[in-house]
């Protein structure tokens, strides 16, 4: 009996742990395979070869979600806070600079020994003259990055990349009550998209900017506007690189994100910071109550916070180019805003852009 008991205990433990280990190993392996597929697609695109869209099936998305990206992102965040010995800083940061093509000539502090940990290095500030803010155009890029998509919002669907869309309402969540927004009541409309447009003759526009790990990690106000509301969606932390955005429909609706809404001179304006793998930390400078990538959350939940109060009836005024927030690593910013029909983007899909450069104007 003793011998039998010694054998059954370990087998029981292995049986209880096995499903989790299998999911992690399988999901991680599949994520690696997808990375390789993404690399091949990028090479084809560089050669000018049109790549057909192939969307992930439900089981593929479920498999990818089985990878504990939220746990890994929290672990990565703690690792980033560990102070490195002075002698180790230059080789570690130099490897990162070489891997992701970081331009340290633009950094306010070029000396690598100055950055005590990886987190400080990721969040490095730039020299004041490194990113001049365009004064001519009404909307500028809030960050460095790559333009994934832009244009008019049509049929309540927004393109995350060419040919792959997501629902406008799923992304932003239910419309915020007009009591919390200090611009005029939107004219009655049948669709969620029409409800966001507050002025007759206006259209709804969008722009998606992907920040790679080597990009400047802070983001700024893209125009003069007033932020009246914040909506935080806890969620997955899947990669948001262009290959995955092309593969998973409604990727941005699956992932954790912070939606800032308000108004500018032409009506509704919103900026959404989308989390990604190793980007559990989304920090909004004026919002000390925001805490992202918490250990547990309810699927499909969100929490709202209004910046309009008895003491502050207008909300948070932001000037074009003003510091707004930062990511822990690369990620994505989505702008969705209302403007007159003659608004024009000065962009090409796939182009690199830097904070302060023009997105579009009237």
Helix (H) and strand (E) counts for the chain? 9, 17
The DSSP code sequence of 94-144 is: HHHHHHHT--GGGBS---GGG--SHHHHHTPPBPGGGSPPPSSSSEE-SSS
Q: Confirm whether 283 is a catalytic residue.
A: no
Cross-strand bridge partners of residue 268: 263
Q: Which of 206, 220, 232, 254 is catalytic?
A: 220
Question: Who's near 210: CB < 8 A, 6+ residues apart?
Answer: 145, 146, 148, 240, 241, 242, 245, 330, 331, 332
**273 Rama sector, left if φ>0, alpha if ψ -120 to 50, beta otherwise:** beta
Contact call for residues 219 and 326 (beta carbons, < 8 A): yes
Distances from the Cα of 206 to the Cα of 44, 80, 233, 271, angstroms? 27, 33, 19, 10
Active site residue 287: no
The rounded radius of gyration (Å) of the Cα atoms in the chain is 22
Question: Which residues, including other chains, have CB under 8 Å from residue 296's CB and lie 6 or more apart?
Answer: none
Catalytic choice (38, 144, 215, 263) = 144
Of the residues 73, 138, 221, 331, which is catalytic? Answer: 331
- Collect all residues with Cβ–Cβ distance below 8 Å to 88 and sequence separation of at least 6: none
Tokens found for residue 169: 């309402």
Distances (CA, A) of 314 to 85, 180, 184, 260, 325: 47, 10, 13, 14, 20
Is 220 part of the annotated catalytic residue set?
yes
Active site residues: 144, 220, 331
């Amino acid at each position: 009996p003793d011998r039998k008991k010694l054998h059954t205990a370990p087998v029981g433990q292995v049986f209880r742990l096995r499903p989790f280990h299998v999911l992690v190993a399988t999901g991680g392996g599949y994520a690696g395979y997808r990375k390789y597929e993404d690399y091949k697609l990028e090479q084809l695109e560089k050669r000018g070869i049109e790549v057909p869209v192939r969307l992930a099936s439900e089981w593929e998305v479920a498999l990818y979600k089985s990878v504990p990206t939220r746990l890994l992102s929290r672990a990565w965040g703690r690792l980033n806070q560990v102070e490195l010995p002075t002698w180790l800083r230059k080789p570690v940061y130099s490897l990162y600079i070489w891997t992701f093509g970081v331009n340290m000539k633009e950094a306010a502090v070029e000396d690598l020994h100055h950055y005590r940990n990886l987190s400080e290095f990721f969040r490095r500030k730039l020299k004041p003259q490194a990113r001049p803010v365009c004064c001519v155009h009404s909307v500028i890029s809030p960050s460095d990055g790559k333009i994934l998509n832009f244009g008019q919002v049509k049929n309540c669907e927004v393109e995350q990349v060419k040919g792959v869309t997501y629902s406008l309402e799923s992304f932003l969540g239910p419309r915020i009550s007009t009591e919390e927004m200090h611009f005029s009541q939107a004219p009655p409309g049948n669709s969620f998209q029409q409800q966001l447009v507050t002025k007759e003759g206006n259209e709804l526009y969008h722009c998606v900017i992907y920040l790679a790990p080597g990009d400047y990690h802070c983001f700024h106000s893209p125009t003069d506007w007033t932020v009246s509301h914040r909506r935080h969606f806890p969620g997955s932390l899947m990669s948001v690189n262009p290959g995955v955005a092309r593969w998973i429909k409604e990727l941005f609706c699956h992932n954790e994100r912070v939606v800032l809404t308000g108004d500018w001179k032409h009506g509704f304006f919103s900026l959404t910071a989308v989390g990604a793998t190793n980007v559990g930390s989304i920090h909004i400078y004026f919002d000390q109550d925001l805490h992202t990538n918490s250990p547990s959350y309810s699927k499909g939940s969100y929490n709202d916070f209004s910046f309009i109060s008895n003491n502050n009836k207008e909300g948070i005024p932001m000037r074009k180019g003003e510091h707004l927030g930062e990511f822990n690593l690369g990620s994505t910013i989505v702008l969705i805003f209302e403007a007159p029909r003659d608004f024009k983007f000065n962009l090409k899909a796939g182009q690199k852009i830097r904070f302060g450069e023009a997105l579009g104007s009237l």
